[in-house]
């Protein structure tokens, strides 16, 4: 096949799968008829879903920040049914992800994204909240706590990526981040190749735990393969290490009540490099390292996360008991 025919074939494939990149919320995931709304936060728009509480709400507002190659559907899938009615729940597509615009060049870094989240919270009528961030979203959570401490009532870090790490980044991030060839790679190579690898990749993120049924469909995981989203995500990941080198010395300034949850078998974000150091740097923070938990603490450990949120809200909970219960449930995961 000639290069021209390959290009045409890839273009046809991308066009054929483009309906799958629709960002419409499934009816079952809307929650109290809530729908995503794009709101201007300073010359560009962020997409978010706000679910209002019921009269018996017993928790403060909660803001969810998703990780890399994801969207607001990830935390929505994990927490909406568990927390519906108990608090104002704000699920946000970070800049450049899901239905949100990228915005300015500052939004490659967690600082710019944290400022965008703060502006969105104000426009959504949330003055203060518990911020829950998973993986890359943990970096945004840390930046938010440093830059907008008066808007934080508590912090939950889930398998956070917040410190510089040895080694580089995945080859496809490097390829997508290249100045000249990056846009071509992100347009013609990443979408079809990523679509074929999507099942294995999403299972790998959960490993050694089981990926839940319907996860790929419910979270619209394929949307991360859109050319602009894929390249933006690669640029974020490529810039994170240098950002963390400058940000990490400031984590000791974080004074908000904090819970950090990670897994001892997380092969994507090292718990030793990130979560354990963060617990040492944030005074009086609570660190929970769950045995046989992989990277998807936001879903696999969601009941534990909810108890952490309750603890930050001032309720009496036994996080140690919740940890042990979870460890018992997932003890056999990955064993064949």
Residues 151-175 have pLDDT tens digits of 999 999 999 999 999 999 999 999 9
Residue 143 CB-half CA count within 13 A: 27
Adjacent-strand bridge partners of 158: 134, 261
Give the per-residue pLDDT at 209.
98
Band (pLDDT 50/70/90 cuts) for residue 249 is very high
Residue ranges of domains in the chain: 26-167+244-330
Give the per-residue pLDDT at 56.
87
State how far the Cα of 226 lies from the Cα of 230, in Å rounded to an integer: 6
**What share of the chain in percent tops pLDDT 70?**
90
CATH classification of 26-167+244-330 is 3.40.50.2000, yes or no?
A: no
State how far the Cα of 137 lies from the Cα of 143, in Å rounded to an integer: 10
What mean pLDDT do residues 164-191 have?
Answer: 96
Render pLDDT for 17-43 as a digit per residue (tens, 0 to 9): 333 343 444 433 444 468 999 999 999
What mean pLDDT do residues 111-118 have?
Answer: 98
The answer to whether residue 60 scores a pLDDT higher than 90 is yes
Is the N-terminal amide bond of 208 cis, ω within 30° of 0? Answer: yes
State how far the Cα of 188 lies from the Cα of 192, in Å rounded to an integer: 7
State how far the Cα of 206 lies from the Cα of 217, in Å rounded to an integer: 16
What mean pLDDT do residues 233-254 have?
Answer: 98
Report H helices in the chain: 3-17, 73-83, 110-123, 136-147, 171-177, 182-184, 190-206, 215-219, 227-247, 275-281, 297-300, 302-312, 319-330
Average pLDDT score over the chain? 91
CB under 8 Å to 113, separation ≥6 — which residues? 94, 95, 107, 140, 143
């Amino acid at each position: 096949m000639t290069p021209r025919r390959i290009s045409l074939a890839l273009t046809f494939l991308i066009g054929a799968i483009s309906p799958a990149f629709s960002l419409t919320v499934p009816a079952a995931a809307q929650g109290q008829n809530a729908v995503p709304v794009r709101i201007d936060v300073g010359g560009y728009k962020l997409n978010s879903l706000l679910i209002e509480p019921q009269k018996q709400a017993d928790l403060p507002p909660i803001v969810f920040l998703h990780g890399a190659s994801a969207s607001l559907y990830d935390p929505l899938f994990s927490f909406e049914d568990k927390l519906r009615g108990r608090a104002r729940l704000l699920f946000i597509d970070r800049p450049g992800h899901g239905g949100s615009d990228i915005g300015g060049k500052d939004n490659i870094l967690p600082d710019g994204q944290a400022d965008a989240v703060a502006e969105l919270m104000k426009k959504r009528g949330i003055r203060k909240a518990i911020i829950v961030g998973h993986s890359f979203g943990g970096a945004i959570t840390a930046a938010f706590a440093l830059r907008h401490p008066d808007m934080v009532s508590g912090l939950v870090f889930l398998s956070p990526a917040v410190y510089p790490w040895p080694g580089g980044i995945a080859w496809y991030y490097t390829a997508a981040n290249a100045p000249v060839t990056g846009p071509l790679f992100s347009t013609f190579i990443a979408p079809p190749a990523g679509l074929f690898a999507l099942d294995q990749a999403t299972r790998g993120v959960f490993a050694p735990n089981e990926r839940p049924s319907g996860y790929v469909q419910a979270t619209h995981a394929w949307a991360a393969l859109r050319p602009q989203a894929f390249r933006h995500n690669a640029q974020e990941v490529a810039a994170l290490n240098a950002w963390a080198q400058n940000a990490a010395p400031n984590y000791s300034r974080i004074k908000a009540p904090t819970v950090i949850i990670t897994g001892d078998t997380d092969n994507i974000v090292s718990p030793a490099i990130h979560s354990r150091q963060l617990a040492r740097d944030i005074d009086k923070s609570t660190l929970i390292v769950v045995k046989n938990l992989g990277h998807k603490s936001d879903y696999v450990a969601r009941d534990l996360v909810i108890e952490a949120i309750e603890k930050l809200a001032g309720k009496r909970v036994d996080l140690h008991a919740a940890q042990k219960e979870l460890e018992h449930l997932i003890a056999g995961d990955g064993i064949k």
